[in-house]
């Protein structure tokens, strides 16, 4: 199965924020969109970085002063691991496991076209296993 199939099911809308967004707004946007990460983008489809709940919590542990006076650029990850719609779900699952990441932006020609989370990957895998189970049950019952 390909990443494109996940995007077909969930859509390609991605919550983004620019680099200069205050962290108070980032936290509000994470809650509002009910997501664990936002892609940092100037709004033209390019990817400058990604900021996750984990990035914010890690930064909290080392900050003296008010973290929420800072902007997203101060906590975002700039080495963003991405995938394409043509990548397999299996390869993205391995990438997420190996890199300890839970969100992977999907890009085509260096332009953001979606994002998948570990939850999307797990749901897809469970659906595949259920489909395989049903096919096997049908095969066994048909004999």
What are the residue boundaries of the structural domains of the chain, listed by start? 3-142
The length of the chain is 143
- Least Cα distance to 105 among 53, 46, 31, 62 occurs for 46
The per-residue pLDDT for 65 is: 66
Helices (H) and strands (E) in the chain, counts: 5, 5
The per-residue pLDDT for 59 is: 83
- Least Cα distance to 48 among 25, 71, 31 occurs for 71
The per-residue pLDDT for 143 is: 61
- The pLDDT of residue 34 is above 90: yes
Share of the chain above pLDDT 90, in %: 76
pLDDT in tens, 79-92: 999 999 999 999 99
CATH topology of domain 3-142: CBS-domain (3.10.580)
pLDDT in tens, 37-86: 999 999 899 999 999 999 988 888 777 667 777 889 988 999 999 999 99
The per-residue pLDDT for 70 is: 84
| Crossing angle (nearest 10°) for helices 118-142 and 89-99 | 140
The per-residue pLDDT for 141 is: 81
The per-residue pLDDT for 99 is: 95
Helix (H, G, I), strand (E, B) or coil at 90: helix
The per-residue pLDDT for 142 is: 67
pLDDT (mean) for 100-127: 95
- The pLDDT of residue 126 is above 90: yes
């Amino acid at each position: 199965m390909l990443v494109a199939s996940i995007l077909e099911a969930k859509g390609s809308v991605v919550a983004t924020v620019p680099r200069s967004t205050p962290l108070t707004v980032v936290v509000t946007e994470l809650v509002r969109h009910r997501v664990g990460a936002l892609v940092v983008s100037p709004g033209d489809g390019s990817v400058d970085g990604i900021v996750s709940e984990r990035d914010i919590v890690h930064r909290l542990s080392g900050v003296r002063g008010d973290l929420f006076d800072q902007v997203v650029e101060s906590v975002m990850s700039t080495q963003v691991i991405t995938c394409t719609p043509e990548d397999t779900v299996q390869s993205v699952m391995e990438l997420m496991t190996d890199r300890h990441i839970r969100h992977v932006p999907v890009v085509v020609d260096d332009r953001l076209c979606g994002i998948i989370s570990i939850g999307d990957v797990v749901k897809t895998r469970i659906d595949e296993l259920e489909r395989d189970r049903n096919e096997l049950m049908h095969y066994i019952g048909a004999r």
